[in-house]
Structure 1
């Protein structure tokens, strides 16, 4: 049975709040995973000197990639990327910008498809200081070339956000938002993205104001994660959307607790699909077990049946500020999640059930703030993490304990 039909077949509203944040702080510290982090050297790319500003990492067909920028003391930035075959020895990736803002972009999101990466970058500019978004595709020789795009493809008066890029069997999908609500950009090869906005059930309507933050390729199409807010309500509810082609969408409400909730990242671990995001004062997880199994025909949203369920909460998201799950990765059969909240950037690990989370010690303390960042990438054997505390940005490599 296709994954989309299983999704739309209905949901179970059982909520398990086995939250890591509900355990005493001393108990969490006792169970903290402490990797043997080792700093790795990223060579300075050709061009003006400056400090690295690392933003995202990914594994792709046996290679590691880190993306970001080089920031000068005068505030100027230029895009930068690095690659490695073993996560220890790195080389700079050649970049080929073709526009004013491409030459100044900070690369902040990277995805993988068929052994090649695609990257999103942006630089604030123009009369209103809005982000000028650019995408990059990888050439056969490994270089990243900027993709030409009309200004209003990602920008213009309807622009809201361009979040994450995912690769799949049928091409690439970017998740984000427009004034009309959740939107996506689709491309067969990363060289020509098509904006899909005002799509029924994905975009906002009289019932729900929607926003999207992440995309994931699944067996028979795409998933997009985000949130929705009903008219007259101050809080958001968690949602995912499924599409066979990136054009037509089904809206799926996840089990909600009544707190402000949103999906920030999507991840597949074997036969399990996980959605991770915020759940009130904690971070939350939702799980769809065995998504390729059989099920009934597609039915209207909200019908009873098997599907997603809420798994454990973890950490402290806090209130009154923007908190989020920044990055997710699989380490064998484990799940890693990088989060940010008022207390700073944190790292967490769970098994595929997402019912038990343990804190993971960072290589360095990373406070919250607009110029800070943390991201994670992993394989079954090792982990690469990038950190930026606003003064120094580093890449790290480690192997984690198999137990926690």
Structure 2
């Protein structure tokens, strides 16, 4: 009887330990470590194993580089225009050799964004001044951001359409000059029957993937526009109102957005909609692109606090709080900008 009682107590203890290990709450949270910076981070990019951090102190842009060992250094930043000296970072991209950035600051009589284009490497990043009509002036829309492709860097944005609304616009780069390419006659062109609205861009193989939404005959749907290095094609995403962010790796593109006020997640190039946890996404809520975290595609979203969402589940982040504005994987680290601070997962 004594032996039986001891066995029962031992069994109960094991059950309690296992229950504690599998319970919710703090034990399920993902740990993060703050990366201390001297200015607010606005944009992230991976430059090989180096994390490129676009920051902005009180009144000017900076670029901080975080090496794989955690060392922080500042890249030399050389502005060339008054608005370049005051720019916020709208996007940074890298192909591992060259860094391309888009900055902007509002000014002038109408308070429009005055754009600045930057290029360089980890030693120096230089603003390349452009003619006012390159990104501004009559017909100008917005710039979404830069993207590196095998054919060279692109800047994606919008420009007044010859038919209706705004076209998706693409600028190419050569001899220090950005040149807008014609959208007419391509799937980037809007018309009275089909209006297009790009929201984000990411590298995709040799080319790029642009995501956003469109209105066709009064119906709103999420959409993508894919550049294979030569030609642009488009697809409508199933059961979606808007695609807000995307990232491609290992031959698969992960696109996240909104469907009837809830999180929607698609994978391509076949564009299958995944079943995900029930996460609300409001009409004005931004999303950042998923990243591979420990081999699992993971989205970081502010949902009652910063949470990690995968196709299977969601769990809280231990550390970050506030709106998530940028996520990037550099080397073996995953980094998140939330609440105006930079955090490293793990």
- Which TM-score applies when normalising by structure 1? 0.71
Larger Rg: 2
Q: Does 1:40 align with 2:35?
A: yes
Distance 1:344 1:164, change over 3 A: farther
Deviates more, 1:149-158 or 1:203-212: 149-158
Match of 2:18 in 1: none
Q: Does 1:57 align with 2:44?
A: yes
Match of 2:7 in 1: none
- 2:225 corresponds, among 241, 246, 258, to 241
Is there any run of 5+ residues in structure 2 with no aligned partner, and where? Answer: 1-21
Q: 2: CA distance between counterparts of 1:56 and 1:201?
A: 29
What do the CA deviations read for 1:110-143 (whole angstroms, capped 9, x no partner)?
111133321111101111111111121114x621
Q: Does 1:323 align with 2:310?
A: no
What do the CA deviations read for 1:56-85 (whole angstroms, capped 9, x no partner)?
1122111111102111xxxxx201110021
**What secondary structure sits across from 1:152 in the alignment?**
helix
Match of 1:284 in 2: 264
Distance 1:191 1:31, change over 3 A: farther
Q: 2: CA distance between counterparts of 1:79 and 1:190?
A: 24
Contact 2:50-2:68 at 8 Å conserved across structures: yes
Deviation for aligned residue 1:228? 0.5
Deviation for aligned residue 1:190? 9.0
1:158-307 mapped onto 2 (5 Å cutoff): 158-180=139-161, 181-188=166-173, 191-199=176-184, 200-233=186-219, 236-245=220-229, 248-257=231-240, 261-288=241-268, 291=269, 307=270
Match of 1:114 in 2: 96
What do the CA deviations read for 1:227-281 (whole angstroms, capped 9, x no partner)?
1012434xx21111123446x5222112125xxx111222113132221122221
Question: Normalized per residue, which structure has more strand?
Answer: 2
**What secondary structure sits across from 1:175 in the alignment?**
strand
Is there any run of 5+ residues in structure 1 with no aligned partner, and where? Answer: 1-26, 45-51, 72-76, 292-306, 368-372, 400-404
Q: Does 1:356 align with 2:337?
A: no
What do the CA deviations read for 1:160-206 (whole angstroms, capped 9, x no partner)?
32113221211112222223234233435694322235332212113
Match of 2:57 in 1: 70
Q: 2: CA distance between counterparts of 1:282 and 1:362?
A: 24
Distance 1:332 1:36, change over 3 A: closer
**What secondary structure sits across from 1:229 in the alignment?**
strand
1:359-374 mapped onto 2 (5 Å cutoff): 359-361=315-317, 363-366=319-322, 374=325
Q: 2: CA distance between counterparts of 1:190 and 1:387?
A: 37
**Structure with larger RCO (C-alpha < 8 A, sep 6+):** 1
1:5-16 mapped onto 2 (5 Å cutoff): none
Contact 1:182-1:197 at 8 Å conserved across structures: no
Distance 1:37 1:242, change over 3 A: closer
